[in-house]
Each structure stands twice: as structure tokens, then as C-alpha cells.
Amino acid sequence: MQLTSDVREKIGFETIRTETEQYLYTPTGRQWIRTLQPLSLDSALDERRRQMGELLWLSSTGQSLPFSRLEDVQEALQRASIQGAMLSAIQCYQIRDHVVVARKIRSKLLSNREQLATFMPILRGLHELKEVEASINGVINERAEVKNDASKELRVIRSDLQKTKQKIRSVVDRMLKRLRSKGMAPEEGATLREGRLVIPIYSEHKRQVDGLLQDISGSGKTSYVEPKEVVDLNNEIRLLEIQETREVERILKELTSKIGQYGHELETNEATLGFLDGLQAMLALSRRWDGVIPALSPDEILRLKKATNPTLLLAKESSQQELTVVPLHLELDPSERALVITGPNAGGKSVAMKTVGLLCVMHQSGYALPLDPDSTLPKLQQLYVDIGDEQSIENDLSTFSSRLKWMKETLESPMKRSLVLIDEAGTGTDPEEGGALFQAFIEACLERGARVITTTHHGSLKLFAHDTKGVVNGAMEFNQETLSPTYTFHKNTPGSSYAFEIASRMGVPPSVTKRARTLLGTQTSELSSLLQELEKKLHETQQLKKKLEKRQQALDEIEAKRAAKRGKGRASQDDDTVPIAPKKGTGKTPNGNKKSASTLQKEDLPPIGTEVRLVGSQTPGILVDVTDRYAIVEMNGLQIKSQFDRLRLPKNRKKGVTKKASKGSMKRMTLASSAKGTQSGSFEVKTELDIRGKRATTAEAEITQYIDKAIAKGLPRVDIIHGKGTGVLMGCVKDTLAKRTDIRSFRVAPYDEGGPGKTIVQLS
């Protein structure tokens, strides 16, 4: 998907990209973000979603990619590839910084290779250049200077240079002390002129000092003389400095040549670091709103739950005033191809529409979004936007002409699986003609396989949405008591513009609004009143729903507490069982040690048909078969595999008494034995249990029964969807699973698999 700068600007994506840049560390990362476009190819989008999900996991563990600020070295790398070229010490050190960061990031990815599996192929473009790093470290110090011991010759030259400078300083200090005692020199110390050490002398005494005049102060009061005693030493320093420069240049050329040998690897590292830097910057911005990765719908389902516009969140952070951002709840199933949003001016129509477009674009670019994890977004092939700026009378014609041009170009473009956003459809021309024109345009878009979301005040488009299959109305709620918008979206309800009510609130004389109602006409006025009454009833219904939800939440909490108490009671009942003891003569292992419960053998178990229980369960079962590795117990008609040491005998069991298994069990025993324990029943068990909307007591029973069946079926893993909500169901799942000893583990799902709204249970 290629978005023009105009489209990026209008939906707010340019703001997002600009905000992302503040988290970047590399120039190549900045280039990557500035050219970032949404992905349309299935494989590329799936990979980007997994990458962001894995980075979210890394962040949740308190880790991050170990980036540090890096300078642009692309020009230096190009120069290093030229034979005989020489890079400066600073440039070499900057390249060394890139090599170090690449090495650290590579190590971080490898140390988390299982959780960051999607990044493993990327390591082919991230080279660990130990030779380059060692070569630079051997020559350049942390101050980005060539080290004294970079070569034997340089060490000797710099040593001689230091000794000569100390000798000159000693001579000059003695001379200055003598001249000051005679009042011929100021307190000012020796200084450099043209690279040569000189002493300050009052100008009237300059002829009394044997030496070369090198400079005079601006006032003329002080002359700077190079004493004859140090002329030869200064010449020697100058010669040594020339030798030092030549040796440093030789060393840097040699180092540059080594760097140039790894030019391809270094340039590949640059590109890879830029990509990873861009991803971590996107992650950093996404964390500001606790972003999540929504589900991707292959069926073009659009389900936004508690979605907020990221640009509004950024504006809220930077604003000096208190701003309230109202979450958007909007859902369109695959059959609903167009949405007509109506409502008052400044009521949030355009923001709601832009929010849908921006979130879709950000999602396909790789950002984690500010919405509920249960949200679902479709994959778009293209986004077409007609969102104008504030209009004026003098540019109405040009605005309408540009809209017509946009219509033409849009209809000539590929539109299948695309989203078309139209702000204020029908404006810019005669209302009736404009409404008809945009209705026809929407119909043409739908015929070409696009989905359309439009805002409007036109009654004809409201009726079009009401009468047309696949087109739905939507309204932004308006508080009729305060005459102010609530910015809450309601589907399947057309909205009123409330022009007269808002005009009255803004101080327009009542006589004017009264006359306006008369001019509007009785039928139209009644329709507007009906819409307002519907909105009022809808608002009341929503308030009642919230009260009922709060009551239900309170009931769920009470039931959860009761369930916890019942669980404690059941736990105490474990005392009613005893472990199975090894049989006489088998109580020792082959090496003579006493046998523990975990080393029970097949022959230690009671006879087939004995009543047994599993650790952590009070449901009685019948031992129906025993293999070399595990026992098979029938409970409530289901056959469950169990390790030997998880079996218990009821305390009140009479010795030698056995029970019959259910009809057909003996036949299944034979089958199980012949198949070496692979028989798990013919019943079907889904790998996912959804308990959202259930009460805690009901959910607990369903979870217990579901896990029993999954174990009997031999499933290695199952998922339980409970949603985030108030946390009651999540706590119920945790408490229920914690009581069981026949599961391996359970954990909250990673972000790309559902996040906190889902629990993953590992059974084997």
C-alpha cells in the first residue's frame, strides 16, 4: 500500500511517523521511518505482526534491543572502499561504535532465540565483525585519538616529542623567572605563536633578550619573543610533529584499508540496524498508549473496542489543558460494506472516521494500537481519502472540482479490499445534487469491492443507508440536556445535526431559530425531532445497560468468593485418600535404595476395576488399564491417562473390592493395551474454550470439565479465552487451574496470541 503525503497528513499518519523519530538512534533508522508504508502482502504483514509481538514480549520482561546513539557513517564506508583512502580517527571510532552495537544486538537476539524466532533470519544481515572491532580498538582510544602504541615508530616519536617539550618548558620557565625578577616580563606565562613556544616581554625591553620576535600584542605593550636558547629545540619539535603526522596518516590508511575489506558486511549491518532501530522506535511510541496487536481478519471484519485515536492521545500529552479522549466502539461485519456517520458539527464524526483509517494504516505498518485486545482489523490493499480542509465561499468551486477529480481517479484505481473515507459527503454544490452524486459514487465503490465510511449531514444519504442492504447508519451521540456532544458512536442509528439547538446555545435570537424551523417545513422538522427522540431513548438504554453491567460485576465477584471457599473445602477432602504403597519385595530399586512414590512400577498398582482418585480431584474413577508408563482411569465416562504416583486410594475402600467400569470399558481396555496407550476416545474436544460473558461459578465448572476432556483426548495444549474485563473470570481461571496437579503449566498468552485476555494451558 503506497500512501501519498497528502493522505498520510490527512489521517494523521505523518504525525505518528514524526513522533516516532524521537525514539531513533541511527540515521538509517530515520530514513526507514520516513519511508515507512503500510504492508499489503500477506507474508510481509504476518511477519511484521510477529516481530512487533515478539518485541512486546521482550519489553514485558524488562529487556530491550541495546541500541546507543550512532552517527552517520555511510559516507565514511564509501570512502573506505577506495584504494589508498584515509579515514579520520573520529570516523574510524564511529564505525567501531556501529560494530559494537551490532554485536550486542546480535547477542541479545540469540540469547532469546526461542521467543524472538522471527528475528533469527535477520541475523544473516547482522555480522559480528570481531576483526574490525579489534583492529580499531588497537589503534583508536576512547577519545577518538590514535593511540601512542598504535605502532612502535609512533611511540618513539611521541616519547621524543614529550621529552623535547619538557626541556623547552624548563628553559623557558627559568628565563621567565629571571626576567620577572628584573621587571622585564609580565606575570603572563609562556604561550604558542605559529606553533612555537615564546615568552612575553614588555616591549621596551624586547631588545635586551636575544631571540626572534614572533608577535606583538594588540595594545603593543607586550612582545612575544622566541629565545635563542629554544630556537633549535622548537625546530626539533616541529620536525617531530611532522614525523608524527606522517606516521598517524600511515596508520589510519592501513586501518582504513582493513575497514574497506569488510565494506559489504558493514553496509549490510547499517541497513539491518536501521530496520531494527525503526521497529524499536515504533515499539517505544506504542508503549506510550500500552498498545496491543489486534487480530487480523481474513473476512474483512472490522471490530474496534475501546479504540482511541493516537494523534489525540499525543495531543492530550502535550496540551496544557485537560482533554478527554472518548474511546470508539465500532463494528462492521463482512456484509456491512458502507457506514454513513451523521451527527452535529464538532461531534466527533470526522475523528471517528479518521480513527478507523489511521488504526488500519498503523496496524499494517507494524505499530501496536491503543485498543482492546479483542479488537479485529481487516487487511487493506489501499486507502482512498477525501478529507478537505476548512472551506470558504471563494474556494467552494475549486474544492468541489478537486473532489470530482478525486472521484474519477479513485474509480480508475484498484479498489478490491480497499477502504474509502469521505468527509462531509455531498457538500460543495447543490445539496440535492451533491447527495445524489455521492450516493452514486458510494454505490460504484461498493460494486468494485471497496468498503466506504463517510460523514454527512444529508438526509438523503441517511435514507440511502437505511434502505440499502450492506449500508448502515451510525450516529455520534449528543446530550440534549447540555446541548453538547458526548463523542460516543452508536451503530444502526441516524443522527441529527442539532443545528437549531446549537444555534440557540450560541446566542442566536429565538426569533431567528423559530423562523428557521418554519422554513424547514413540518415534515422535515418532525423527522429531525424523531431522530432526536431516538437518540435520547438510545442514551437512556445505554445508561441502563451500564447499571446492569455493574450489578452483574458485583454478583460475579460474590460468586467468585463463594467458589474460592468451596475450593478450599474440596482441598481439605484430599485427606480422604492415601497413596499407593509399593508391594512387598518391590520396595527397593535395583541398586538397593528405598523406592519413592515416583518410582512405582506397573506391578505395584491395584487390580483392574479398583476405585481410585487422581491427586487434586474428588471425582471417583475406575482403574481400567495399566501400561508400562501410565495408568488409564475412567471418570464420568471419559478415559484419562495418569502417571502412577498421581493415583490415590480412598481411605474407606474395602480390601479386595472392585467396581465395574461403564459399558464397553473392558472392550476399550483391550484396545488401549493393544494400541500401547494411544486410544483417547472418539469424542471431539476443541483446542479453545471461550468463557467470556459467563458467571464465575458456571465458568469454573466448564473449565474443569473441559480440562478433563482435553487430557482424556491427549491434547498437548489448550487455550481458555476469558477476556480482560474486570478480572473476575481471569482470576477464576487462575484459581481453577492452580488446584489441578494433572496439568504441566499455564500462563498468560503473548500479545500476538491474545495477550491478557487469554490463558494458555500446557497439558503435556
CATH classification of the domain holding 184: 1.10.1420.10
Q: How far apart are CA 472 and CA 476, in angstroms?
A: 14
Q: Please tell me whether residues 545 and 672 are part of one structural domain.
A: no
**3-27 pLDDT, tens per residue?**
988 899 999 999 999 999 999 999 9
We report the CATH number of the domain holding residue 89 as 1.10.1420
**545-602 pLDDT, tens per residue?**
777 777 766 666 665 566 555 555 555 545 566 666 666 554 444 444 444 444 567 6
Residue 134 covered by a domain: no
> What residues make up the domain containing 189?
150-253
pLDDT for position 664: 44
We report the CATH number of the domain holding residue 307 as 3.40.50.300
Q: Please tell me whether residues 344 and 491 are part of one structural domain.
A: yes
pLDDT for position 673: 36
Residue 137 covered by a domain: no
Q: Please tell me whether residues 310 and 413 are part of one structural domain.
A: yes
Q: Please tell me whether residues 317 and 427 are part of one structural domain.
A: yes
In this structure, are residues 10 and 361 in contact, taking their beta carbons and an 8 Å threshold?
no
In this structure, are residues 12 and 350 in contact, taking their beta carbons and an 8 Å threshold?
no
Mean pLDDT of residues grouped by 10 in the chain (764 residues)? 90 95 96 94 92 92 94 94 94 97 96 93 93 96 94 95 90 84 83 81 83 84 85 89 95 96 95 97 95 89 93 86 85 92 82 95 96 92 82 53 89 93 81 87 94 89 88 84 78 76 80 78 54 67 75 65 55 59 52 47 77 74 80 74 78 53 43 37 73 84 87 84 79 86 81 76 82
Q: Please tell me whether residues 323 and 366 are part of one structural domain.
A: yes
Q: How far apart are CA 477 and CA 341, in angstroms?
A: 11
Q: How far apart are CA 556 and CA 560, in angstroms?
A: 6
Residue 430 covered by a domain: yes
In this structure, are residues 347 and 485 in contact, taking their beta carbons and an 8 Å threshold?
yes
pLDDT for position 582: 65
pLDDT for position 523: 44
Q: Please tell me whether residues 530 and 548 are part of one structural domain.
A: yes
Q: Please tell me whether residues 178 and 311 are part of one structural domain.
A: no
Q: How far apart are CA 34 and CA 367, in angstroms?
A: 15
Residue 144 covered by a domain: no
Report DSSP state, residue 144. Answer: S
Pairing type for strands 638-642 and 631-635 reads antiparallel
* Domains in the chain, number: 5
Q: Indicate the Cα dihedral angle 676, 681, 687, 688, nearest 10°.
A: -140
Q: Please tell me whether residues 161 and 300 are part of one structural domain.
A: no
All three cell numbers of 429 = 454544490
First-to-final CA distance of the chain: 43
pTM greater than 0.75: no
Q: Please tell me whether residues 675 and 715 are part of one structural domain.
A: no
pLDDT for position 593: 44
| Cβ atoms within 10 Å of 333's Cβ, excluding its own | 13
Q: Please tell me whether residues 414 and 318 are part of one structural domain.
A: yes
Residue 549 covered by a domain: yes
Instruction: Return the half-sphere exposure (C-beta side, CA atoms, 13 A cut-off) of residue 156.
Output: 5
Q: Which amino acid is at 608?
A: I
pLDDT for position 65: 96
Instruction: Return the half-sphere exposure (C-beta side, CA atoms, 13 A cut-off) of residue 371.
Output: 30
**367-382 pLDDT, tens per residue?**
999 999 889 999 999 9
Residue 145 covered by a domain: no
We report the CATH number of the domain holding residue 641 as 2.30.30
Residue 136 covered by a domain: no
